[in-house]
Structure 1
């Protein structure tokens, strides 16, 4: 499939359209790949459940935040998109059976019209098979993305909101120690969270999803007149889901780092005149800032803006190149 896109007899337009679809499957494969049967995903989920039961249940509850509500709506939206994707893919292949990067595009003799009934039946079976495989691949690939990465980020931010309410009640060393203890519990949770996400899930989210957004928006802008409905809808679905991920999820992930820094500063300010200052400073200094990591880097407050700016610039560059070719 990749070789066909790179060196096959395809036009540049076909290659770009095919690469956008290929990135969806590449991201899904990266996220679901578990050859060694790693149980890290289950360990992370159980860690959050244990933390909720043993720690958070004893603390005062805070109202549901706007970030949590928005993330819930987003997860429901992309769940619909995950189911809609293979259905729209089927219609796309019925309209354009030779569309890269799918199976028939790798055969030089692929044509839109089928001369015999046998050809039509074979193509229909192939399209059903590819739609079914897409459904399985995307559901299995996005499960950990939705229910570990997305939900985990919101949970950590909610834990910080609880910690913030406790910090405002610091009056003595005992209150301060409780806050430090809660921060360290969240820090341990973040370590297990990153241990599972850092090798595959976050890198796929950071690199594959922006590529999907760029290529999907490019097809929407430059080739909306060449692909009929409802097959064309697959590209807006890809573009909207990828764009919302880059704007919403990456922004919330960056807030983990920002909120962590704010908690340390808040504890330090609150302990002034109420606790032993030297001990408090050492305890706060020993608490590391929390980060959502990918490789040796992490998502900071500037990452969402940089990423979205890159996506917009690349999309417009591709569209302008296409426009110049049409004019010339």
Structure 2
């Protein structure tokens, strides 16, 4: 089910990434597999990685020296944080074989017809499809074009390059009012911003949606398939192998990074929407609200999947203890542990999603209370 739902989104994602040459991975349509990208893409990705950190540094400096009011800094600060988050997610120098292996397990698995989904499975399939559609719409359709439109109308919008490079007399002029060399220069600035923004959203979507979230959802799906059967030692062992592959891919870099960045994004964007809704431009407010919705849905989705797998596998092992009769099987069962999606030395249990959302809600309220004092 999951492969059938996500595969169209994945191939579309890789098609966009190929235009930007910003990933160390690509989709091979002949083999229907994810492979490492070509030499040019790898070299270009490394160059753009260095450029992106220079770009982020410029944004931080520009924001720190700005004399704008706090309300005027909300959108620039959100953009800067988004760029920092994407730069951290894309802070790699080469392809990771564990990521390639995980993606091929997910997207090369045997497809099941959607007609087989019933009840909760069908509802879950709709939720997953809507989530990926929302993420793709936000990343590829809404956000970058909105930034371009903003630069056409407001060329000196902080913290973008125009605020640092353009003369002051150009800041109040829309693009069509500029002439000659200045028109060409402004077009170049817009193109550079567009490429940089698209690179960031492609990288963020790749590591978050198509490795982390897809990996956890696939693990969840495979666990639910097995746990319907009352007794399957071999099947549980296969799940442990999948658990090892998943944790090798996300445990030490992707998952800890997202666990820090996504709740922080949720807290800051919700707080900004509540506190500055009447002082922020409507287009900017909509973009911030879209980021808040994406961060909230993301936090709920992957945390819930990982927590359910841990709880269900623990219940399954307890049920198996009452069914196992042979001495060898009992010893083998003792060696089995509940399935865990790990981040660093910790793991997700069934209460982690509630704890994270409670933390986000409490910190948002605290931030609002402190800001009004």
TM-score by length of 1: 0.80
**Greater Cα offset, 22-31 or 93-102:** 93-102
- Contact residue 213 and residue 301 of structure 2 kept, 8 A: no
Match of 1:161 in 2: 224
The reply to whether residue 196 of structure 1 matches residue 245 of structure 2 is: no
Which of 297, 302, 320 is the equivalent residue of 1:249?
Answer: 302
Which of 135, 140, 157 is the equivalent residue of 2:198?
Answer: 135
Which of 278, 281, 294 is the equivalent residue of 2:330?
Answer: 281
Encode CA deviations 1:286-326: one digit per residue, 9 max, x unaligned. 112221111111122222222222222232333334434xx
The reply to whether residue 74 of structure 1 matches residue 123 of structure 2 is: no
Summarize the alignment of residues 92-131 of structure 1 with structure 2, pairs less than 5 Å apart: 92-94=150-152, 96-106=154-164, 112-114=171-173, 117=179, 119=182, 122-131=185-194
Assess, with a 3 A threshold, how the Cα gap between structure 1 residues 293 and 96 changes in structure 2: closer, same or farther: farther
Match of 2:208 in 1: 145
**DSSP 3-state at the match of 1:166:** coil
Encode CA deviations 1:150-198: one digit per residue, 9 max, x unaligned. 222222222222222221xxxxxxxx4xx11111111111111111112
Match of 2:88 in 1: 30
How many Å separate the matches in 2 of 1:245 and 1:132?
25
Which of 262, 267, 272 is the equivalent residue of 1:214?
Answer: 267
Which of 332, 341, 345 is the equivalent residue of 1:296?
Answer: 345
Assess, with a 3 A threshold, how the Cα gap between structure 1 residues 100 and 299 changes in structure 2: closer, same or farther: farther
- Contact residue 102 and residue 246 of structure 2 kept, 8 A: yes
Match of 2:19 in 1: none
How many Å separate the matches in 2 of 1:69 and 1:265?
32
Greater relative CO, 1 or 2 (CA 8 Å, sep 6+): 1
The reply to whether residue 319 of structure 1 matches residue 362 of structure 2 is: no
Distance apart, 1:79 and its partner CA: 1.0
- Contact residue 218 and residue 315 of structure 1 kept, 8 A: yes
Assess, with a 3 A threshold, how the Cα gap between structure 1 residues 252 and 186 changes in structure 2: closer, same or farther: same
Larger Rg: 1
Match of 1:91 in 2: 149
How many Å separate the matches in 1 of 2:197 and 2:139?
9
Q: Structure 1: which 5+ residue stretches go unaligned?
A: 168-175
Assess, with a 3 A threshold, how the Cα gap between structure 1 residues 252 and 129 changes in structure 2: closer, same or farther: same
Match of 1:238 in 2: 291
- Contact residue 89 and residue 234 of structure 1 kept, 8 A: no
Distance apart, 1:135 and its partner CA: 1.4
Which of 182, 186, 196 is the equivalent residue of 2:239?
Answer: 186
Match of 1:259 in 2: 312
Assess, with a 3 A threshold, how the Cα gap between structure 1 residues 78 and 307 changes in structure 2: closer, same or farther: same
The reply to whether residue 43 of structure 1 matches residue 106 of structure 2 is: no
How many Å separate the matches in 2 of 1:298 and 1:202?
10
**DSSP 3-state at the match of 2:172:** coil
- Contact residue 71 and residue 280 of structure 2 kept, 8 A: no
Assess, with a 3 A threshold, how the Cα gap between structure 1 residues 68 and 297 changes in structure 2: closer, same or farther: farther
RMSD: 2.9
How many Å separate the matches in 2 of 1:322 and 1:62?
48
**DSSP 3-state at the match of 2:368:** helix
